[in-house]
Amino acid sequence: MELRIRNFFKLLLLISFVLSLISFLHHIIALSPLTLKPLFPNEALPTKTGYLSINRSAASKSAIFYAFYEAQNPISSLSETPVIVWLQGGPGCSSMVGNFFELGPWRVRSRKASSENFTLEQNPGSWNRIFGLLFLDNPIGSGFSIASAPEEIPRDQLSVAKHLFAAITSFIESNPLFKSRPLYFAGESYGGKYVPAIGYYILKTNEHLHPSSQVNLGGIAIGNGLTDPVTQVATHAISAYYSGLINERQKNELEMAQWEALKFTKMENWGAATKARFRVLDMLQSMTGLATLHDFTRKVPYETETVFAFLSKEEVKKALGVDEESVYEVCSDDVAIALHDDFMKSVKFMVELLVKKSKVLLYQGHFDLRDSVVSTEAWIKTMRWEGINQFSRAERNAWRVNGVLAGYVQKWKNLSHVVVLGAGHLVPCDQALSSQAMIEDWILKRGSFSQKEDEQLANSPSSLFSLFD
Q: What is the enclosing helix (H) or strand (E) of 191?
A: helix 191-206
Active-site residue identified among 342, 368, 430, 441: 368
Other Cβ atoms within 10 Å of 166 Cβ, number: 17
Active-site residue identified among 239, 332, 425, 430: 425
Residue 141 CA to residue 160 CA, distance in Å, equals 12
Assign 396 to helix, strand or coil: strand
Residues 219/416, Cβ–Cβ less than 8 Å: no
Is 342 among the residues known to form the active site? no
Residues 101/108, Cβ–Cβ less than 8 Å: yes
Give the neighbor-by-neighbor strand order of the sheet with 183-188: 48-53, 63-69, 132-136, 83-87, 183-188, 217-223, 360-365, 415-420, 404-412, 396-401
Residue 257 CA to residue 251 CA, distance in Å, equals 10
Is 137 among the residues known to form the active site? no
Is 294 among the residues known to form the active site? no
Q: Identify the burial level of 138 via C-beta atoms within 10 angstroms of its C-beta, where 0-12 means exposed, 13-18 middle and 19 or more buried.
A: buried
Residue 59 CA to residue 53 CA, distance in Å, equals 11
Of 342, 140, 347, 399, nearest in space to 225 by CA: 347
The residues, ordered by sequence, that sit 6+ positions from 395 with a Cβ below 8 Å of its Cβ are 410, 453, 457
Residues 95/86, Cβ–Cβ less than 8 Å: yes
Active-site residue identified among 159, 189, 346, 448: 189
Catalytic residue positions, numbered: 189, 368, 425
